[in-house]
Amino acid sequence: MNNKLLEYSEKLGYKNSFIERYMKKNDLLPKDFRFRKTSLDLLLKETNKKISDFIRDTYLPKEQKNKFAQISKILNPKKNAPKYFTENDLANDLAHWFNTILNLDEVVSANYFIGDNVQIECIGELFGNGQIGIHKIKDRHKIDIHPKYASFQAIECLIDSKIGLMMLFKPSKNIDRNANNRTVICQDKKTKIIWFGFLEPQSNGRYNILDKSQSTGKTIGKLAENIQLSWCAEVKAAYYPTIFNT
């Protein structure tokens, strides 16, 4: 659809570069909508396969030479080159092929190879005492994530029962009143300690940070008591990274 709109606009006399700048500025084009070669390379490495294995397993012998040339053009694109075999075609064929050779809980979808590629920073780690250690900027790493979380950051859980769990929150410099009685990441104004826990507001304007059971919802204990906050942010989502979003 976007390609058709670009072609039509060019016929009206607009330059391609102007059209793309305008569309991206107004969110009419994804920021990175193209075939993601890095995603393919990761799966090929995981399965110890080559692109030639895919071509041999997927297409008839008489088609293979032509398919190899078409796929090479997609993986090494040239501007304005004609496409008879598209990124969507390749993504669908690859998804089908990988699903026949991989034994995973998740299904490989075509969207894994095409679409928006959004990354956010993992800025710290949660330890067993409910405290979060923040990474130095040079030690932070990025993870792929759904575009709706593009403005979020992640904290990685190091607790044995949830090791590797990524907890997502939107960074804040304020105290979010909507986060009361919810799971949050917050900072003690006095000690500068950053906590992860259940936020319990007090009548005096201070807060308790509670450790609650994930199974029963009952309070196990208090991680911090009667503290003032510098800021707090609700944890909006949590997930275990897989081969598809590490």
pLDDT of residue 115: 66
> What is the structure's pLDDT at 25?
45
Show the low-confidence residues of the chain (pLDDT under 70).
Answer: 1-34, 104-106, 115-117, 242-246
State the pLDDT at residue 243: 61
According to the model, what pLDDT value does residue 11 have?
Answer: 52
In this structure, the number of other CB atoms found within 10 A of the CB of residue 159 comes to 15
- Residue whose structure tokens are 């305008």: 22
> What's 14-57 look like in SS3?
CCHHHHHHHHHHCCCCCCCCCCCHHHHHHHHHHHCCCHHHHHHH
Closest CA to 98 of 64, 145, 63, 51: 51
Rounded CA gap, 112 and 110, in Å? 5
Domain ranges of the chain: 31-112, 118-239
pLDDT at 221: 94
| 188-214 exposure pattern, b = at least 16 Cβ within 10 A, e = fewer | beeeebbbbbbbbeeeeeebbbbbeee
Strand, coil or helix: what is 151? coil
CATH no., domain 118-239: 2.10.109.10
- pLDDT tens per residue across span 111-131: 788 866 678 899 999 999 999
> What per-residue confidence (pLDDT) applies to 242?
67
